[in-house]
Structure 1
Amino acid sequence: MDIRYEVNPVDFKTYQTEEVRNAFLVETLFEDGRVQFTYSHYDRLVIGGAVPTTEPLELEWTDVLKTNYFLERRELAVINIGGEGEVTVDGEVYSLVKRDCLYIGMENKQVQFRSKDATSPARYYLVSAGAHRVYPTKLLPISEAEPNKLGSDAESNSRTIYKYIHQEGIQSCQLMVGMTLLEPNNMWNTMPAHLHDRRMEAYLYFDMEPQTRVFHFMGQPNETRHLVLKNEQAILSPPWSIHSGVGTSNYTFIWAMAGENYTFSDMDAVPMEDLK
């Protein structure tokens, strides 16, 4: 398990490109036949990827957590971004096609990931946060998720947002998870920018062509930096940072939050004139 420690925003002002990448960019999450995790000290969020091929993969306990099993004191979101697959949770099987979301509550002891077709494997994006009570495991297919249309072609940000795990959707202790799809010829997300100092956020960018890149902007509003991302790479965004991006083409991203409160609209808008 890759471990990432917190960064002081004062220290961040001195970071060069490689230091920023090492602290916040997760370059490799998906590898055939493996489960991989990155553990962030921001709100103890864990993100990962599981790509089962010919054999199923287990959500294995890790010594980093110092618990008897992975979900003993955690909850988990699973979003499939690949081929059709199945997730088995303590003996119950859930089928997931691309963009379906499965919430798995605390105290489930065995989680197993399968692909229906090894030549077109499922690609499970995993997001886990600490939990204090049991919420039921629940599947939300993309076909049943409510689409919210936002933005415009004039602003290059025409997009559809699907909320999966939130106050009015799948219930959780602290995870909030959703997905944003940008329309063709639209490239901007989360601009004008905002902060939410009460929680951190992780972004997974995907559905990108090999030569497509996303320029992800982060930092305090008056001290911004950028990172260049390829397909299926993720960003750990600290509470003190904006989180905005623009691509060389359209793309899709999954956003996941954990932290102090459970209110999706808790955002501090940043005026454009404050960005530097």
Structure 2
Amino acid sequence: MNMSIRQAVSPAEARTFDTDALRRNFLVTDLFGFGEIRMTHSHVDRTILGGAVPGGSPLELHAPEKFMVASFLTRREMGVFNIGGKGAVILDGTEHPLPAGDCLYVPMGVETVAFKSEDAASPARFYFVSTPAHAHHEIRIIARDEANRVEIGEDDGANRRTLRQYIHPDICSSCQLLMGMTMIATGSVWNTMPCHTHDRRSEAYLYFDMAPETRVFHFMGEPQETRHLVVANEQAILSPGWSIHCGAGTSNYGFIWSMAGDNQEFTDMDMVAMEDLR
């Protein structure tokens, strides 16, 4: 198990970054490795992004030594999606099957977490996000059909997409973590357009379900100082609250989004007018 660290970056710093610096600070390219748990810890809202690809035996999630706690979820909560083959998450000895498209909420206080593949030849690929927590809630599996489904966009804007809210106050109680999945409709390319910021919350995107040659051009930065990152399949973006976060793909794709911060009001976005973008 290994974990990289990303420090917080101010808008003034980000304006000076070249492509390599932007990628080092905001793009996570190596979340998934067979037989490994890999994590990236962002000091923006102390969010952890993780990937686990278990082989023939389960992978146990331990607290990094720097956390100085007994277990990973001593003071944290976590959401887990499976984007690979059949698998399960084992919580305090109880196995929770997690099919692709479903989400598992894991509360603060769970002492042991392990990830398991049903077939090592077609392993599960678990993507998890963890944020600090202050209270214990219930373990919950949210099936794809149980999530809030919202149809957004239009064909004329090339931004038609289906958004599903899984860890959301209407569906599943949590301390601060919000998670969901958005799938872009065939023939559309844009996500989160028109764009917005929400300075009260940071966000992370895992782009997935992409062909090897497909790329997403992810736009970030202050509305008047935008930049872009070229993102491949199963790579993640760290988006601080001051930044816009939208993208256009060369073909179909989806993304798993997560948020952390001061509130759980999903509609508290500060919309950015198209004519104000630079």
TM-score (norm 1): 0.98
Match in the other structure for 2:34: 32
- Is the partner of 2:130 in helix, strand or coil? strand
Match in the other structure for 2:223: 221
Q: Quote the sequence identity (%).
A: 53
Within 2, Cα distance between the matches of 1:264 and 1:65?
30
For residues 83-232 of structure 1, the aligned pairs below 5 Å read 83-232=85-234
Match in the other structure for 1:249: 251
Unaligned runs of 5+ in 2: none
CA-to-partner distance for each residue in 1:129-162, whole Å, 9 max, x for gaps? Answer: 0000000110011133232211122111111111
Amino acid paired to 1:267: M
Following superposition, the deviation at residue 182 of structure 1 comes to: 0.7
Within 1, Cα distance between the matches of 2:120 and 2:142?
24
Q: In the alignment, is the contact (CA less than 8 A) between 1:167 and 1:264 conserved in 2?
A: no
Q: Compute the RMSD of aligned alpha carbons.
A: 0.8
Q: In the alignment, is the contact (CA less than 8 A) between 2:147 and 2:171 conserved in 1?
A: no
Following superposition, the deviation at residue 68 of structure 1 comes to: 1.4
Q: In the alignment, is the contact (CA less than 8 A) between 1:208 and 1:231 conserved in 2?
A: yes
Following superposition, the deviation at residue 37 of structure 1 comes to: 0.4
Match in the other structure for 1:12: 14
Amino acid paired to 1:138: R
Following superposition, the deviation at residue 53 of structure 1 comes to: 1.2
Within 1, Cα distance between the matches of 2:137 and 2:152?
30
Q: In the alignment, is the contact (CA less than 8 A) between 1:88 and 1:112 conserved in 2?
A: yes
Amino acid paired to 1:47: L
CA-to-partner distance for each residue in 1:98-144, whole Å, 9 max, x for gaps? Answer: 11100000010101110111111110001000000000110011133
Amino acid paired to 1:192: P
Following superposition, the deviation at residue 86 of structure 1 comes to: 0.9
CA-to-partner distance for each residue in 1:188-230, whole Å, 9 max, x for gaps? Answer: 0011110000010000000000000000000000000000000
- Is the partner of 2:25 in helix, strand or coil? helix
Within 2, Cα distance between the matches of 1:260 and 1:191?
23
- Is the partner of 2:21 in helix, strand or coil? helix
* Count of matched residue positions in the alignment of Structure 1 and Structure 2: 276
Within 2, Cα distance between the matches of 1:236 and 1:66?
25
Following superposition, the deviation at residue 169 of structure 1 comes to: 1.1
Within 2, Cα distance between the matches of 1:227 and 1:234?
11
Amino acid paired to 1:94: H
Amino acid paired to 1:98: A
Within 1, Cα distance between the matches of 2:224 and 2:234?
29
Following superposition, the deviation at residue 12 of structure 1 comes to: 1.2
Within 1, Cα distance between the matches of 2:193 and 2:222?
14
- Is the partner of 2:220 in helix, strand or coil? strand
